[in-house]
Amino acid sequence: MSWTLVFTEQYDKRAMRFLKRHPELEKQYLKALQLMEANPFHPSLRLHPLAGRLSGLHSVSINLSYRITLEFLIRDQEIIPVNVGDHDSEY
């Protein structure tokens, strides 16, 4: 089963800013995106739903400090990244 990543213009801008500030994370970031397309339930992504003001969104890990928040549409096999950043700024 394959999933489709759907990137918005707003997310692309956020991701570019993130990678500009953290070029050392580019390889891990790209690996997380590849894993999401192949299997968003892969244990290393630590996919989980969010609560509070981010209710309705999910989060996956790039590493222990950085996350990608996303819309996770199971019925359409689509994953829409919303934001990328460190744990504190995402939550």
Tell me the backbone φ, ψ of residue 84, rounded to 5 degrees. -140, 140
Residue 58 is given by DSSP the state E
- Architecture, CATH, for domain 4-90: 2-Layer Sandwich (3.30)
User: pLDDT (tens digit, 0 to 9) for every residue of the chain, 91 residues total?
Assistant: 689 999 999 999 999 999 999 999 999 999 999 999 999 999 999 999 999 988 989 999 999 899 999 988 777 888 999 999 986 655 4
Q: Are 21 and 84 in contact (CB under 8 A)?
A: no
Query: What is the pTM (predicted TM-score) of this model?
Result: 0.87
Using the Cα atoms of residue 60, residue 62, residue 68 and residue 74 in order, give the sign of their dihedral.
negative
Q: Name the residue ranges covered by the structural domains of the chain.
A: 4-90
